[in-house]
Structure 1
Amino acid sequence: MQKKKLIIFPFNGNGIEAFDCINFDEYDFIGFIDDDPTKKSMEYDIFPKVILDKYPELFVLAVPGSSLSYMERAQVIHSLNIPNLRYINLIHPSASVGKNVKMGFNCLVMAGAVITSNAVLNNHIIILPNSVIHHDVIINNYTLIGSNVVVAGGTTIGNNCYIGSGTNIMNSITIGDFSLIGLGSNVLKSIPENSKVAGNPARSLAFANN
C-alpha cells in the first residue's frame, strides 16, 4: 500500500512531539509548515503554507496552541484553508484507545495516554503524554489536554479549552468553552465559559488576584 504523504503544522513543541507519534509504515513524513522565517532546523524541512496548494495530495496534522494562544486555535488552523478530508489523526503506539471511543479529525494522542469506554474526542484535539480520559467523557473542538491530566467519567470539556498538566477533573461536571485550568489543579465543580481557574480546589484566578 502506498504511504500517505504527511506534513505537520506548525513547527512548534506540539509538532515536534507529534513527529514521535508517526507510524512510518503508513506515512511518508515530508516536513513542517511554518511561515515564521525565524524558525530554522538542521533536522527537518520547513515549508511555507503555499506548499498545501502546490501539493494537494499532502495530508496534514495541525497542532498549534499553548496556554497563551489556545483561544486562537480555530483561527490559526482555519488559516490553512484545506478541506477536512486532508486532516489525519495521530495516535502514539503506546497510547491506549478503547474500542468504543469516538474520535473526529485532526486529533493527536501522545505517548502513554489512555482513553476509555465511550469517550468522545471531537475535532482538533491534543492529548499530551500520560493523560487519562475516562468513560463517557466528551472533549469538544480545539481543546488541548496537558500531560498527566485525569478527567473522570461523564465530564464534558467545552470548545477551545486548555487543561494544564497535572490537573484532576471530577466526574460528571462541565468545563465551559474558552476556559483555562492552571497546572496541577483539582477541579471539583463545573466551571462557566471564559473562566481561568487554578489551585486545589480550583478557584477563579480573577478572584484570587483581588
Structure 2
Amino acid sequence: MTLPPVPLLIVGAGGFARETAQLVHAVNEVTPTWDLLGHLDDDPAKQGTVVDGVPVLGGSGEAAAREDAKIVVCTGSPRDYASRARVVARLGLPVERYATLVHPAAAVSRTSSIGPGSVVLAQVVLTAAVTVGAHVSVMPHVTLTHDDVIGDFATLAAGARLAGGVHVERGAYIGSGALVRETLTIGSYALVGMGSVVTRDIPPREVWAGVPARFVRPSHVTDGA
C-alpha cells in the first residue's frame, strides 16, 4: 500500500530554503514522499509571493497551526548563522514535527545517522559512522569521513571536507571549501572562513581563516540562549 505524501512547510524563503525546495522535488521524482505546501517567512515583503514556483504562505508562526505538516527550518548565512537555532527555539515545536531531508544524490552510509530538521543536499558523502545532529545544514559536495560528529544547528558550506574524528560543536559554521584535519574540534558558534585549512582546535565563538587557519576576531552571533 502506497502512503499519501506528507505535507511539508519550509521556514525561510532565501537561498538555502529554495535549494531545499529543489531537494524535495528531487526526492519526489524518485518516490512521491512530500506534499510541499510552501514557504513560511517573517519578511512581509516575501509573504504572498512565489519563489521558484513555491508560494510564500505567511510568517513562521503559522507552522504551529498546521499540525498535519512536517517542518524544516532553512535560515542562516555567514552573517547570522545562529538564526536557525533562534527560529527553532521560538517555534517550540515537538521534535516529531521536524522532517529530515536527504537529497537522493547524497551518499549516506548505513552506519551514519542524521537528526531531525537536518538537510543534506546533493553530492554530500557520509562515509562511515558519521553522526549529524538536529537542524544541521549540509550543503552540496561536503565530505564527512569516519567518526565525524556534527552538533545541532551547525552549517557545513559547499565543498567543505572533514577528515576522520572531527567534532563540530553546536552552531558552528564551516565555510565553503574549508579543510579540517583529523580529530580536531571546532567550538560552538565558531566560524571557519571559506577555503581555510584548519590544523588546530578552534575555541568556541571565534572566527578563524587562512592557510593555515588563524584567529581573526571573536564571533558575535548569538542564538539567544
Deviating beyond 3 angstroms after TM superposition, the runs of 4 or more aligned structure 1 residues are none
Structure 1 unaligned residues grouped into runs of 5+? none
In the superposition, the TM-score normalised over structure 2's length comes to 0.88
> Counterparts of 2:137 and 2:64 in 1: how far apart (Å)?
25
User: Is 1:44 paired with 2:54?
Assistant: yes
**Map of 2:15 onto structure 1:** 13
Contact 2:73 2:84 in 1 (8 A): no
> Counterparts of 2:6 and 2:83 in 1: how far apart (Å)?
29
Range moving further from structure 2, 65-74 or 183-192:
65-74
Contact 2:64 2:91 in 1 (8 A): no
User: Is 1:161 paired with 2:161?
Assistant: no
Q: Secondary structure at the match of 1:5?
A: strand
Q: Write the deviation string for residues 6-27 of structure 1: whole angstroms up to 9, x where unpaired.
A: 1101111111000121122010
User: Is 1:4 paired with 2:15?
Assistant: no
> Counterparts of 1:49 and 1:103 in 2: how far apart (Å)?
24
1:163-202 superposed matches below 5 A? 163-202=174-213
Q: Write the deviation string for residues 100-148 of structure 1: whole angstroms up to 9, x where unpaired.
A: 0022111100010001100100111010000100000000010000001
Contact 1:114 1:133 in 2 (8 A): yes
Range moving further from structure 2, 183-192 or 63-72:
63-72
Relative distance call for 1:53 and 1:105 in structure 2 (3 A) is closer
Q: Secondary structure at the match of 2:50?
A: coil
**Map of 1:30 onto structure 2:** 37
Contact 1:64 1:77 in 2 (8 A): no
Q: Which amino acid aligns with 2:154?
A: T
> Counterparts of 1:33 and 1:163 in 2: how far apart (Å)?
26
> Counterparts of 2:102 and 2:138 in 1: how far apart (Å)?
10
Contact 2:130 2:144 in 1 (8 A): yes
> Counterparts of 2:73 and 2:66 in 1: how far apart (Å)?
16
Q: Secondary structure at the match of 1:70?
A: coil
> Counterparts of 2:50 and 2:67 in 1: how far apart (Å)?
24
Range moving further from structure 2, 42-51 or 175-184:
42-51
Q: Secondary structure at the match of 2:152?
A: coil
> Counterparts of 2:39 and 2:168 in 1: how far apart (Å)?
29
> Counterparts of 2:147 and 2:64 in 1: how far apart (Å)?
39
> Counterparts of 1:32 and 1:93 in 2: how far apart (Å)?
21
Contact 1:20 1:92 in 2 (8 A): no
In the superposition, the TM-score normalised over structure 1's length comes to 0.94
> Counterparts of 1:76 and 1:50 in 2: how far apart (Å)?
10
Give the one of 142, 145, 149 matched to 1:134.
Answer: 145
Structure 2 unaligned residues grouped into runs of 5+? 219-225
CA RMSD of aligned residues (A): 1.4
Aligned length: 207
**Map of 1:67 onto structure 2:** 78
Report how far residue 50 of structure 1 moved.
4.0
